[in-house]
Structure 1
Amino acid sequence: MSAELLDVAHPPLKELCFVLHPRLYSGGGDNRAEPLGRTSSYTRRETRLAALNKQEDDTSPRDYKKMYEDALAENDKLKSRLDDSKQELTKIRTQLDKVTQEKQALEKRVTDMEEELKVLTELKSDNQRLKDENGALIRVISKLSK
């Protein structure tokens, strides 16, 4: 069978022949002196895909209503997922804000306690100094009373 006859009579048969004998459909003849380039294989591939697409169009009429309904269903499903994600994001942001506020409150409490600790240390030091002075005054008074 010739390539022209296969083109017209049996497009799927031509595809099979092309797969089995690609040199027959690469411009004819013996191409051993000039290797097939990328563009020619690309062109052949595009031709094959076009033939397959044409064959699909001829054999299976498209149900546009079903395709539309499927697209709507998919859109609704995606919108629902998006809404769920937005709600979850809002919930997580609220939790993050709460945790951030708690962290700030704890940091403030730590700072306040550190200040109290400094004051406590100063008070202990003052208390010890006053005890020492009191002891010294007691000794002076006891010497004066003798």
Structure 2
Amino acid sequence: RLETAGSNPITSDAYSDRASSRTSAYTRRENRLAALSSRPGEEISKDYRKLYESALSDNQKLKSKLQGAQFELVDIKSKLDKVAQQKQEKTSDRSSMLEVEKREKRALERKLSEMEEEMKVLAELKSDNQRLKDENGALIRVISKLSK
């Protein structure tokens, strides 16, 4: 525990703050007890009551602080979970979008190659059509010469 506290300055500060607050609480308690031991009996019992009530109120304050910190921790954890879930959704959305884009790209490439093939066939058909027109014209000339 000391090694981790020493390697992390924030943790070591928090650790030293807690240690110094404990030490000061112990010192205050010892000072109160020393002051009580020098007083008469009835005054001591009143002081014990005051000490008990003081300790009780301190405990209540600490419990409320702890409860507030626990609520804050739960809130922060839920926010962290939401952010992690959103990040996961974005990642899955992004990957699904990439898959959709890849499929669309493949479909477009297939369509492009089909159109290129159709263009080749169309060019061949045009040349065949022109050749047939030329042959038809030649045959018409031959038939017209023969019929004269």
**Category of TM-score, reference length = shorter chain:** 0.5 to 0.7
Q: CA deviation at 1:98?
A: 1.3
Amino acid at match of 1:84: G
Superposition misfits of 4+ residues, deviation over 3 angstroms = 53-56, 59-62
Q: Within 2, Cα distance between the matches of 1:120 and 1:87?
A: 49
**Is 2:97 the partner of 1:113?**
yes
28, 34, 37: which is aligned to 1:57?
Answer: 37
Q: Structure 1 residues 77, 143: CA separation in 2 closer, same or farther (over 3 Å shift)?
A: same
RMSD between superposed Cα atoms in Å: 2.1
More helix by share: 2
Which structure exhibits the higher relative contact order, with contacts defined as CA atoms closer than 8 Å and separated by 6 or more residues? 1
Superposition TM-score, scaled by structure 1 size: 0.57
Unaligned 5+ runs, structure 1: 1-52
Change in CA separation of 1:64 and 1:88 when aligned onto 2, cut-off 3 Å: same
Residue 124 of structure 1 and its aligned partner are, at CA, apart by 2.4
Tell whether 2:70 aligns with 1:90. Answer: no
Are residues 138 and 87 of structure 1, via their aligned partners in 2, closer, same or farther at CA, if it must alter by over 3 Å? same
Cα distance in 1 for partners of 2:36, 2:59 equals 26
CA distance in 1, matches of 2:35, 2:93: 77
| Unaligned segments of structure 2, at least 5 residues | 1-32, 131-148
Count of residues in correspondence between the two structures: 94
Displacement of 1:120 in angstroms is: 2.2
**CA displacement at 1:105 relative to structure 2:** 0.9
Instruction: State the distance in 1 between where 2:34 and 2:55 align.
Output: 24
Amino acid corresponding to residue 105 of structure 1 in structure 2:
E
The corresponding residue for 2:63 is 79
Question: Cα deviation per residue 1:37-78 (whole Å; 9 max; x = unaligned)?
Answer: xxxxxxxxxxxxxxxx97872357641000000100000000
Distance change in 2, residues 1:114/1:85 (3 Å): same
Q: How far did residue 99 of structure 1 move?
A: 1.2
Q: Give the equivalent residue in structure 2 for 1:133.
A: 117
- Secondary structure, in 3 states, of the residue corresponding to 1:74? helix
> Counterpart of 2:86?
102
- TM-score where L is the length of structure 2: 0.57
